[in-house]
Amino acid sequence: METCAHIFQISGIKTHEEKRVLVQGVQQLGGKYIGGSVYQEASTHLIIPQVLSSEKFFAACAAGKWVVTPDYVLESVKNGSWLVEGLYEVAISTGAPTVFYPARQWREKVASGRLTGAFQGWKVLLVVQEPSRRAMFKRLLTAGKAEIYNIPPPGDVSITHVIAKPITENSTFYNAPCYPVTHIVQHLFGSNCIDMNFNITDDHPAEMMKADVVVIDFSKLETELKDYVVKQQGRSRLSFLEFLGYRDPHCPQSQAETDFSDVGTMIECGLFTEALDSVRSAMLPGLLPPVPHLTALLDYAQQENATPFFQRNFLQVMYNLLLTNPPWMAPSRMKKYFSQVLQCPRCKMGLWPFLQTAVSYCLSSEVTCHPLPAPASPTLRRFHHDLVAFVLKLFQGELHSITAGDFVQPQGTAVSQASASGSLLYGAFWTVWERSTLLSQAVKQLTQLLVHAASEEYDERAEKQRLCLADTLLELLSVLVEFWCQQNFKLNQNLVEKGLQDLAEHLTVISQDVAPAVVVQLVVRVSSTRLKVVMADAIFRSLCCRSGLTLGDEPLSLKKMVLSYLPALGRLARSPSGARISTGPTSHSCTSQETDCRSQSSLAKETMFGDISVIFYWCARHTEGDNGQDIRHTLILDFSLLFRLFSLFWVFFLSALCVLDEGETLLHRACKKNQVETVLQILALPGTDVNIKDYAGWTPLHEACNHGSTACVEALLRYLPAPVLHHQVGGVSPLNDALRNGHVDIAKLLLEHAGSSLLQQTDGDGHTALDLVSSPSQREELLHCAQVGDTAAEVWNLPLLEAGSTLLAHLIFSYQQERGLPGRTHKPCDGARSLGHRLVKALETHSYQTVTSGWTDQRAVRLTEDVETLLELSRGMYLGQVSQAVRECTGQNSQFLMEILEHLKCRAQTLVDGF
């Protein structure tokens, strides 16, 4: 590939529009632009309006680069191709007819090969204490090909220059002359530097070289970043502006002034339609129909003989009540009223059982507070769904009341925060003892119903049915999550983070047997960004964990997503296409090499005990009959059930005996003895963990490779999910184990299965697997097998790749929204822009470690790391982490991820250019 001959940096142009025109012109002619306020070695041209006392200008001169005016780009655009640079070099008039071109002498010397840089041959001891100035001088001297050394220099190095401040020129240091920092400029331009008006003084020698560098108080910066993060995390995510029109009536009428006695009589006579019409016609702002009347009408609406017209009118009455008498406006009066109405008319167990019954009936579930008409008619199912949607509307209003405290209500009083603790939402989902945890019993039940609804409606996707109940429940979950977080954020921010993590991991556990597409679509539809971030992160980590991939347990950050999650996505794409894809549980224990994820055997045991409990429950139910029939007779009649029970007990018996001496299992022992039939039988058992370790950490694959059990290795490699081939014990991997013991055929099998990645792994002494092979022919054979493995890996698991791409795309996008990464704004006086400006400048002139050194607030550290990652992206780093599978995949979700990454890179560039 031909190297680009026109790579530009810009200095001294502060007008954003002028810079934008230049950058567009460069790109239009096929050139490249590098942003930032520090010099980049990759650049070939520097654009400046006139001679500047900036780092970029001095470094470009020292490196022999072209230094041209903006007219060079503008005229080249008009010409349609690049012009000759000589006519556009920056020049200085020195009086009379003389014109001095400051960069020309060094550029011509470098171009002719006489020099590699202005400081060629310099061996410099840089004695500058201030870190940012030292870094700037180091970049400048390095651009001119000087060699920089620290104190003390190596003994075999003869120092030629000591650049220091404030050492005089007549001093010596390490037997070398000492110069002030001004000597750098004097060497570059000689006597002409006087005409260049650089104002060279020893008091401020670096100011002429860092026009873009801002002195920043890092301690103050940490405080401002912390305040910014707290403000971002405490803001409201969901807004419902339609509730601004909901009002508490100014002159509520007393109940006695309205006669609802006829309504009661109609209900007693079974005239429910007429009674409902009377309620509708008598309703005025401030009027509340008696609770018994509404309860009776609700009970009738849930009956099979209720007409759709009646059900719609009843819901209209409820919405009119909510509009004219919102419970969050007068909680002491309205909360009690709505809590009495919104419960089962027969069981009267409260709001959550009422919702649970409505949802369960829509799902044709038997878990209801009392028997409802069966089979469920479409009309009645729609009514129950509409009831859930109504309660969701009420909860949205309560959330609005605590997140829109800035709005003043018609009576001149804002909604108090204290009212939220007595809200209907709080009372429905959290008991008094559960309010310190997000994952209450009711929330767990809601998530179960959500996953059930999503799975059921996904199975009906062929009928083009839109997810309706699942969307409603997901919005309900988002509302209650935001409500709980708003209530607890100011009290305990760590409690909020833990609550969100617990909820996300609970969702991964209960959805482990659900198709990944269902869970992914749930993540996509989440309206709360903070909930979407933790859900996408937990499910993506679960996908990786279940596929044998290990991710670090450090907190989520943009850098972690780029450096860890993107490579993991590429490895997910290479998972066997026939593997069962599920989203199992995720926890911190899944993130350590030495600690296994929750094994399949544990999941199987849970299933086994669940099956046994179902069998005994079934048996108990069959002994309750009036005829007192013998349970043995029942079991004999159902031979398949008896066989299932016997099989389960046999599996349990094998599980109890699987641990032998030193933590070995039967699978370990069979692999040692090359008993492939036994291995196949064990692998066929439900819940077998192919990566189980003994007390020393050895896996069955280790034992098979060590003892030369080729047939067992083949059986293990065919098992799904595939065994982990990169696991090491004391630096010894299965491949090392095979080669150390001379089992080359097994080594070939491993390489054909996993490819060349195994050859890159080193042992405890830093040696690769090929270092253990002395025969050149064997080395060639192993390399060939690795190539075969790499080629076979090109058969990608597209469903898993698409699922992972969707999760990662939404995770990156939502993370940016949630954390509020500072970016360019159009308001110069905007505080966030000012903070972002200082943060970017600090990171461009200092290392990330220097900026955050001594910081104690991890939120500020994490935000700074995120901005540092964006700056690195603007310089073209990290994008190599995107695997070939993701780049070449034509699936819409993988392409969407690539668009998100490109948007992230553009945002990074905007972040640099905007300041």
The model's pLDDT over 126-138, given as tens digits with 9 standing for 90+, comes to 887 677 778 888 8
Q: Compute φ and ψ for 763, nearest 5 degrees.
A: -90, -170
Residue from 747, 741, 691, 752 nearest 716 by CA = 691
Q: How far apart are CA 587 and CA 271, in angstroms?
A: 58
Q: Compute φ and ψ for 376, nearest 5 degrees.
A: -70, 125
Q: Compute φ and ψ for 162, nearest 5 degrees.
A: -115, 110
pLDDT digit string, tens, across residues 622-662: 444 444 444 444 343 344 444 444 554 554 444 434 556 67
CA distances from 667 to 594, 652, 741 (A): 20, 16, 21
Q: How far apart are CA 276 and CA 589, in angstroms?
A: 58
pLDDT at 231 over 70: yes
Residue with the bigger pLDDT between 368 and 24: it is 24
CA distances from 717 to 152, 448, 598, 711, 751 (A): 55, 36, 21, 10, 11
pLDDT digit string, tens, across residues 760-773: 888 777 788 888 88
Q: Using an 8 Å Cβ cutoff, are 763 and 786 in contact?
A: no
pLDDT, averaged across the chain:
76
pLDDT digit string, tens, across residues 708-723: 999 999 988 877 666 8
- Show Cβ contacts of residue 600 under 8 Å, excluding neighbours closer than 6 positions: 687, 688, 689
Cis peptide before 828 (omega within 30 of 0): no
pLDDT digit string, tens, across residues 292-318: 989 999 989 888 888 999 999 999 999
The mean-pLDDT minimum among 58-67, 419-428, 764-773, 876-885 falls in 876-885
The mean-pLDDT minimum among 281-295, 368-382, 637-651, 682-696 falls in 637-651
- Cβ burial 425-446 (10 Å sphere, 16+ → b, else e): bbbbbbeeeeeebbbbebbebb
pLDDT at 591 over 90: no
- The helix (run of H) or strand (run of E) holding residue 100 is strand 99-100
Percent residues over pLDDT 70 in the chain = 75
HSE of 127, CA atoms in CB hemisphere, 13 A:
21
Structure letter (DSSP) for residue 253 = P
Cis peptide before 516 (omega within 30 of 0): no
For CA atoms 273, 278, 283, 289, the dihedral sign is: negative
Q: How far apart are CA 171 and CA 578, in angstroms?
A: 75
Provide the 3-class DSSP secondary structure of residue 619.
helix
pTM, two decimals, is 0.59
What per-residue confidence (pLDDT) applies to 821?
67
